[in-house]
Chains A and B, each alone.
Chain A
Amino acid sequence: MIEARHLSKWYGRRQAVGDLSFTVAPGNVTGFLGPNGAGKSTTMRLLLGLDRPDEGEARIGGRPYRDFRFPLRTAGAMLEAQAVHPGRSARNHLRCLAQTHGLPSRRVDEVIALTGLASVARKRVGGFSLGMRQRLGIAAALLGDPQVLLLDEPVNGLDPEGVLWVRTLMKRLAAEGRTVLVSSHLMNEMAVTADHLIVIGRGRLLADCPIAEFTKGASLEQAFMELTAGSLEYGDHYPQGSIA
């Protein structure tokens, strides 16, 4: 269960997220959609306690993320594939995260095998392709066997086989009763993956409903374009005087 209650966040004079409230239920893959700059990544960062909201609060499993002593047991997240020291091997990266929670190295090897990284696990991440880094990010998210997963653009840079793998994995995790929130730009991918949609534009909630209700028979892309048509003028994101 993920809850956002009246979340607002400003960066300088620019409001990235405004009065955003939604709940993500377990058992579904929930797609998190919005145009570039809509505030998807900011919302993810607020949910995970990386940034502090100016107003409102975010809870995961009933508690603010920062209150967890061992958060990886409850929530796993992949924010961006770049959150890794390039000089460290994939296995050591996962090991140092696992050790904070007292997880055995057996678990590290399990997620390495699960994400298909076994042959490169002892290589330095600096030499990884974007797709391999995405897999490493997903491996890190799965370390603590969490009930809640937040994945920001997980299929970026993956080959078709990788895309299929992520889709299957997310559906399986949801079928196991976990809460899965996944952001993406790729409408066709979302159309075949998500059960439920949360759409934001300019930091505000535009839609929160099952995918069938959202598309009403049209394609997801069409429905999305119509809904977000008013949120695409970038000039409006930035009040005068701020640096865009």
Chain B
Amino acid sequence: MSAVTLFEGPAAGATGDSGLAGFGQLLRSEWTKIWSVRSTAWSLAILVIGGIGLSTVIDGVTAAHWATVSAADRQAITVKGAFGAGLDFAQLPMCVLGVLVITSEYGTGMIRSSLLAVPSRKRLLAAKAAVFAAVAFAAGELLAFGCVPIGQALLGSRVPESLSDSANLCAALGVGLYLAALGLFAFAVGALVRHTAGAITAVIVIFVAFGDLSQLIPGTVGKYVNAYMPANAGILVTNAHQQATDLLSPWQGFGVLCLWTAILLAVAGILLARRDA
């Protein structure tokens, strides 16, 4: 064994849950983890390239048949901007990646190696969440800033579609924010469920069953329940313009999604600290 100076970090005596000492090292470790498995690059490539590709196709078809596009659809394009189709496509791979980032550690047993190095579950979860959110945000921005110029070229003469337009720029930033928060929501579900298939099912049930089916609840209650569902609220931040029928403004909607995500992450953190690994 070597007696060389191995340690560059803070003093070995540092203890406890609190404080940020060594947190940068945890971030670096999670960065290595996320990029050293192939599923990350694959899912992100599918998400960005597939999303941009789908947007291009939909924009092209829309432009070619502009004369027959209904007024409602024209309005939708104006509201959603060029990344509407690509964003819809990107949601599921982002959720799957969010789930996998945490459940793959449980599925493979890696979590025990991770916890031996970082006994504080909350710190481990926080570092993992932070790195994943940053990667998800960057992927979302790649998608948005890939979609807008294409939309501008194909539809620019018909709808206000330009990154120099502050509403569109804001919406493009919103794509990264929304996908990061959505992915983190799925990540939190993954941390709670700890099984890949179970967690992905749970995410789909939450977004499809609660998100889409809640609009079937009759009356004003149904409208409110539907509007405050995590994805329904969060996606508003990707809209270039607020519609008169929206109950929440884009930033309020994003706040609602962040609140859902924060609650789930907090519960996951508490349970993780209590449960046996």
- Does A117 interact with chain B (Cβ within 8 Å)? no
Binds B, one of A25-33, A85-93, A196-204, A226-234: A85-93
**Contacting pair A50 B276 (CB below 8 A):** yes
- Could you mark each residue 249-277 of chain B with 1 if its beta carbon is under 8 Å from any beta carbon of chain A, else 0? 00000000000000000000000001011
For A69, what are the chain B residues with a Cβ–Cβ distance below 8 Å? 10, 14-16, 21-22, 120
For B33, what are the chain A residues with a Cβ–Cβ distance below 8 Å? 85, 88, 96
For B21, what are the chain A residues with a Cβ–Cβ distance below 8 Å? 69
**Contacting pair B28 A99 (CB below 8 A):** yes
**Contacting pair A83 B32 (CB below 8 A):** no
Binds B, one of A102-110, A184-192, A210-218: A102-110
For B1, what are the chain A residues with a Cβ–Cβ distance below 8 Å? 142, 145, 173, 176
- Could you mark each residue 1-25 of chain B with 1 if its beta carbon is under 8 Å from any beta carbon of chain A, else 0? 1110011111010111000011001
**Contacting pair A72 B116 (CB below 8 A):** yes
Tell me the bound Cα distance from A230 to B112 in angstroms.
Answer: 33
Looking at the assembled complex, report how far the CB atom of A77 sits from the nearest CB atom of chain B, in whole angstroms.
Answer: 6
- Does A100 interact with chain B (Cβ within 8 Å)? yes
A-B contact count (CB 8 A): 125
**Contacting pair B25 A84 (CB below 8 A):** no
**Contacting pair B117 A72 (CB below 8 A):** yes
For A74, what are the chain B residues with a Cβ–Cβ distance below 8 Å? 12
Tell me the bound Cα distance from A65 to B22 in angstroms.
Answer: 17
- Could you mark each residue 32-63 of chain A with 1 if its beta carbon is under 8 Å from any beta carbon of chain B, else 0? 00000000000001001111100000000001
For B32, what are the chain A residues with a Cβ–Cβ distance below 8 Å? 92, 95-96, 99
Tell me the bound Cα distance from A85 to B274 in angstroms.
Answer: 24
Tell me the bound Cα distance from A70 to B11 in angstroms.
Answer: 9
- Does B216 interact with chain A (Cβ within 8 Å)? no
Interface of chain A residues 218 through 241 with chain B (CB within 8 A): none
For B16, what are the chain A residues with a Cβ–Cβ distance below 8 Å? 67, 69
**Contacting pair A48 B116 (CB below 8 A):** yes
Looking at the assembled complex, report how far the CB atom of B88 sits from the nearest CB atom of chain A, in whole angstroms.
Answer: 29
For A110, what are the chain B residues with a Cβ–Cβ distance below 8 Å? 2
- Does B36 interact with chain A (Cβ within 8 Å)? yes
For B7, what are the chain A residues with a Cβ–Cβ distance below 8 Å? 70, 73, 101-103
Residue A104 contacts which of B3, B6, B105, B117 (CB distance < 8 angstroms)? B6
- Does B222 interact with chain A (Cβ within 8 Å)? no
Q: A-side interface residues toward B, CB under 8 Å? A: 45, 48-52, 63, 65-74, 77, 79-80, 82-89, 92-93, 95-97, 99-104, 107, 110, 140, 142, 144-145, 173, 176
Please give 17 more A-B residue pairs, beta carbons under 8 A apart, in addition to A69-B14, A101-B7, A103-B7: A49-B119, A50-B116, A52-B274, A63-B15, A66-B119, A67-B15, A69-B10, A69-B22, A70-B10, A70-B12, A84-B108, A85-B104, A93-B113, A96-B30, A97-B113, A103-B6, A145-B2
17 sample A-B contacts, Cβ–Cβ < 8 Å, listed by A number: A51-B277, A68-B15, A70-B7, A70-B14, A73-B7, A82-B108, A84-B108, A85-B108, A87-B39, A88-B36, A89-B36, A93-B113, A96-B36, A97-B113, A101-B7, A101-B117, A144-B6
The 7 closest A-B pairs by CB, nearest first: A102-B9, A92-B36, A99-B29, A51-B276, A69-B14, A83-B109, A96-B32
